[in-house]
Structures are given as structure tokens and as C-alpha cells.
Amino acid sequence: MQGGTMKKVFGSAAEALDGLLQDGMFIAAGGFGLCGIPELLLQAIKEAGTRDLTFASNNAGVDDFGIGILLQTRQVKKMISSYVGENAEFMRQYLSGELELEFNPQGTLAERMRSGGCGIPGFYTKTGVGTVIADGKDHKDFDGETYILERGIVADLSIVKAWKADATGNLVFRKTARNFNPPAAMCGKVCVAEVEEIVPTGSLDPDGIHLPGIYVHRIVQGEHEKRIEQRTVRAKKEPV
């Protein structure tokens, strides 16, 4: 506490995670493709050596970036994900039985996180009815249509990446990074956010804040890599 206010700003990702990590924990991670990945916090988890982790995340990054770096070191036990197509090590571990995988449609995964953050234990959705996604889940009919029950996600820890923050933890995300980071942040018992810039408290337009600071417990500012997942360019045309 500083002057009656909780200190949220930390000097490094390792400091921001100090005392929060333990083997076997459940972590919700933001990011969409390679956009908005909490890369500094993931690197700090790797260096801490925390093992047997379960991650809820839209995807696992690629082999050398995002959650992929934790797959390389065998620190991940289970993934709850929507898309895993860009990660060869993920595929190898899953097919060999080394990694447990729970597939979730993207909208379902986002709503499971948001529901957990809002105190909603479960919800019914039509998505996945009649597929393997529905196996073992409660089915219920509403207005002549069948729905399946999905449980809200409450994680031990949320790690997210934002564009801007103030010292109280109000966050602003940039473009596609807003897809999964806000619901991931909401569903953690503790949320740590890495940001590109920390601005003076009061300088953010209240109407432009995407996630209020009540959800965010710790913040770290750092330098981030701007990667492109799939680069597609046209062949250069020679002048006639």
C-alpha cells in the first residue's frame, strides 16, 4: 500500500509474478494469434520453472513465441483452446499423448471467461450440439432447440497484455488484442497485466477504458515484439 492506495506497478515481469506462481495452477492468458500475447509474463513463467500448468487461451502461439515457449520446456500439462494450428510442438505433444487438450469454440471460450469474471457459474449455448464438444455435457431444450451447458472459467491467475494503463490498473487494448484479453483478465482470481505504456492517472478518457482497474492487481511496463503470424505478399512486378 502507498498512501492508502494499493501499489499495482512493478518493475519487471518477474517481480509482478512474485508469490503468485505454483506448480499445477490454472492460468488464463490473453492474446489472439500473435496479437496481444503477454510475452513478458510468459517468459517470466518459463524462467521461474513453474510446471504442470493448465492454460485457457485462444491458442498456444507458435513454437518459439507465446505459450509455445512453455510447451518447449514441458511446463504445460493441459490446454483449453480454440485454435492450435500454427504450433508444431503442440501438435506433436497432443498426438503423442503428452499434452491434454480441451477444445472450445472461440465464442464459447470467450463467454466462459467472461461468465467466470461476472460470477456466472454456467450458461447454455447451441454451439457444439451434435459434435464431440457436447460429449458428457448437460443438454436442455429451450423453445424447441437443444442447448448444452458450458461452465464459467475461474482461473488461479490471469495474464494479459494491454496497450495503455494508468497506475490504478485501468486498461486500454489496441485493435485485435481486445478480443480475448478483457475476458481473460476478468476470470482470474489475480490478474497481472503487461502494458506498452503507463500514463498518468486521470489522463485516460473514462469512455475509452476497455477494462476497469478493479479487475487488475499488478501491472508491468515493457518493450514488446511486433510479430506477424502469416505474412502474405505479392511478387514484385518488373517494369515493362
| Number of domains making up the chain | 1
pLDDT, tens digit, for every residue of 157-202?
Answer: 999 999 999 999 999 999 989 999 999 999 999 999 999 999 999 9
Residue 110 is placed in which grid cell?
470467450
Answer yes or no: is 142 within a domain: no
pLDDT, position 234: 79
**Rounded to whole angstroms, how far apart are CA atoms 126 and 145?**
8
pLDDT, position 230: 65
pLDDT greater than 60 at residue 224: yes
Task: Count CB neighbours of 10 within 10 A.
Answer: 17
pLDDT, position 118: 96
> Which domain, by its residues, includes 174?
9-121+154-221
Answer yes or no: is 147 within a domain: no
Instruction: Output the CA torsion sign for 75, 114, 40, 104.
Output: positive
Answer yes or no: is 144 within a domain: no
Can you tell me the mean pLDDT for 208-236? 85
Pick the closest to residue 41 from 167, 231, 170, 184 (CA basis): 184
Answer yes or no: is 47 within a domain: yes
Answer yes or no: is 149 within a domain: no
pLDDT, tens digit, for every residue of 114-159?
Answer: 999 999 999 999 999 999 999 999 999 999 999 999 999 999 999 9
- Single pTM value for the model: 0.90
Pick the closest to residue 169 from 207, 119, 210 (CA basis): 210
Answer yes or no: is 129 within a domain: no
Answer yes or no: is 18 within a domain: yes
The CATH number that applies at residue 66 is 3.40.1080.10
pLDDT, position 212: 97
pLDDT, position 60: 86
Answer yes or no: is 126 within a domain: no
